[in-house]
Chains A and B, each alone.
Chain A
């Protein structure tokens, strides 16, 4: 049983529609993250959470919001999808601290048409 799952794995949506991606963990880790991965840009942090209802912005947060009402779930919402948000989105979890790495989900491929 995977410790972190993302849903959906693939989604095609129209410009201007809201979209919510879900990340679910069974590891009880405190920290959760949303990254996007694009050719030429690598992995860029969108938002992260350091506890229930505690979130902060990353380097590419414009146009995105997040919520964490339970330890195990971290939601990423594209308020009004644009073509520039076509990307692969990864969720990650961590226990925190410099000795701990991240465990990533398998990603969501989002296409905005």
Chain B
């Protein structure tokens, strides 16, 4: 079983601050995805990264896949209250098809 460890588990910050959340594993993943989940809703896909060292930007969010494809990070610049939610990373093992293994998530609270 491939495990994805996310840290921190909970993060409470003020609007305008920067933050980074991490997703780590001892396993190599062929792809890694980040989702955001709001209360009472299902997770929503933010990004997929598949190449070691890959960096993707989505407005104020920057996603990085580690060179060895065992870890990933999500950096948010100038956080806003609308960024509040549970951030989940999920990894796929095979280059073809595989089910995703999810981390337990980082709960982010951004206060005005």
Contacts and interface: CB of A to CB of B under 8 A. Distances in A.
Contact of A41 (B30, B40, B95, B104): B104
Given A40-B104, A43-B102, A103 B45 contact: yes
Nearest to B96: A97
B92 A42 contact: no
Q: How large is the interface on B (under 10, 10 to 19, 20 to 34, 35 or more residues)?
A: 20 to 34
B88 A58 contact: no
Contacts of A58: 99
Contacts of A97: 96-97
A98 B105 contact: no
A58 B98 CA distance: 12
A70 B16 CA distance: 48
B50 A98 contact: yes
B103 A106 contact: no
